[in-house]
Structure 1
Amino acid sequence: DSLDKALLLAQRALESIPGVTEINASNKNDSTQFVLTVNRDKLAQVGLSPLQVASTLRTAVAGVKATTLQGGTRDVDVVVSLNLNAGASDPHQASVTTLDAVRNIPLATPSGQTILLGSVVDESLGRSNAVINHEDRERLAEITANVAPGYTPADVLAAFNKKMETTPLPEGVHLKVGGENEETNQSFMEMGIAFLAGLALMFVVLVLAFNSMRYSLYLISSVFLSLIGVFGGLTLTGQTLSFSSLLGIIALAGVIINHAIILMDSILRRLSDHSNKDFKEIVIESATSRLRPIVLTTITTVIGMIPLIFVSTLWGPLAFAILFGLSFSMTLTLLLIPMLVYRWPDRTTKALLASRKK
């Protein structure tokens, strides 16, 4: 049927993708069956109905309950059925139904004649589903596969989706990708929520620490802007956004905030000094004084991530996310935050600068 055809198309697509192993389809255990279709024209000629034929066939093969014998401890049903294999030498084979035996089941017509079942049915070969699965009240057929070492599920899935986009499916059949991909999407959603919740908590802590909503926004913005470096690095290295790269982004946020806090604290401390230095000079000196520790921590972290690139394909995206994101955010921290503070200081800073001019 249409599900089997769609399953075959998906199987051929998977077989053509490098790195795909152990392909299993849910219909592999299906068996071949004989299908008997009632010929209504022939039945009409002998005066029989499809219901009569079905009832006779069911009685002959499955039997019919004739009576019940009452025993001492339990009742025993007496089932009467046709001996469809009367010529069998083995008594155990007498109950085995053969196609010839089904063809020779007698049918009594209203005119008193007896005809054989095979004369009023058409025979064909079909497939019998060993298991019929359903999801949301729709029939479901599944195909699964594993990924060989050296390949990533994301790459295999991308290749599979590309092939299936150009493969027309039978009418009424739609494709749904599950397995690890479905779990990954769920993990993305959960980790995305955790990432935003973590940033919200960071923002609250920053507001309490610096007593400034504006400066806290400056610091948090550096995390979002660092994503430019993350996605640019992943694209440059041919990596995809995966579970491990998302872990790298979450870990990266904490490091970036640490750098930004160090720089912001330096600016505010120098500003509180009652020297007569110009505000611009204070901002530049603060960024310069924190240049060395920020650059050194960035370099050591990047060097520590490099071995992960060669360990396995699982942790490579994490290493690239931290490597490129941290390198890009270092520039943002040293340039963007000082410029924002100098160009748009908060009210407390403005009041302090105004008091110095008096």
Structure 2
Amino acid sequence: MAQQPIRKPTRLEPWQDPAQVPYVRIERVTKRFGDFLAVDDVSLDIHRGEFFALLGGSGSGKSTLLRMLAGFEPLTEGRIFIDGADMAGIPPYERPVNMMFQSYALFPHMSVEQNVAFGLKQDRLPRGEIRDRVAEMLELVQLAPFAKRRPHQLSGGQKQRVALARSLAKRPKLLLLDEPLGALDKRLREQTQFELVNLQEKLGVTFIVVTHDQEEAMTMASRIAVMNHGAVTQVGTPTEVYEYPNSRFVAEFIGSVNLFEGRVVEDEPDHALIRSADAGCDLYVSHAAPAPVGSTVHVAVRPEKIALSKEPPAEADGRNTARGVVREIAYLGDVSIYLVELASGKTVRVTATNLARRADLPVSWDDEVTLTWRPFAGVVLTR
């Protein structure tokens, strides 16, 4: 999982402060295309200066919601406010918004600087101001030496930065980005994620990005709204949605996860005990279960939180301790992924950091192993 850039600490984030007024307010927005429900009663508050991500798979409604924010799609129901103003009936060109498309939509017959200047010329800004602002934007995205080039003479990453400079040149209060890194290769995409975060923090512009890439959202966003079938299933910081998913869908969509089905046999304020035939052991979780004793639940455990060894650790008490056989190993350089088959037939995924070289790893195919994890590693899910 990609690591999130370290952000400057604050005492209270805007979304945690009841005195803060959201910059973008989406109130019970619904969008239907005939009988198809694309966006289903979505409400979101997004604050000034946030890097907010709408994350979901194909058909989840994220791009439709973005287009309604931009004014390209009318709402079926609900209201959208930007900086306190109701956007009902406001056309795209009158909204304090700019949008950067996945295709970048650069004009092939124009140079880089002409592409960046296009919107400013449409607004009939003075020639000197256009020149200064274009130079500022190209310097900001580190493309000043390429000002005279045409789009076909640029790499994918350079085209992406030209499109970004053009979007920012008009100094929008809100920038909408629709899958902005989708056309880039993996290495360039990872590099550009950090560049976007640094640029957004430097400018203080509110960014809303649509993406299907969980690592992209985790790396860039201050908060994430996970969408499924047109509805928002969870909103939170990257840490919150990864460590504390509120449903099996979120747990499985954000990263890799092991889900163990079981029955609640003990529920106290500081812990819950789940009896699981799936795992072949009792699962001890260091938080109360959101379901009464006797209920069927699932316990989510991330692969990197499971320890793998040939012998049970001395402190193991049988809880959160499963035995199985290594069926597959994937060596990825920095980590290895182990697929372990338990006696129940369930396959458990374990991720281990490669502290030793591949030939020196202590566990191999068909080895019998013990899997253990701490009480804080599990999350009880009821849906």
Fold shared by both chains (TM-score > 0.5) = no
Task: Return the index of the structure with the highest Cα Rg.
Answer: 1
- TM-score interval (norm. to shorter): under 0.3
TM-score using structure 2 length: 0.21
TM-score using structure 1 length: 0.22
Answer 1 or 2: which has greater strand percent: 2
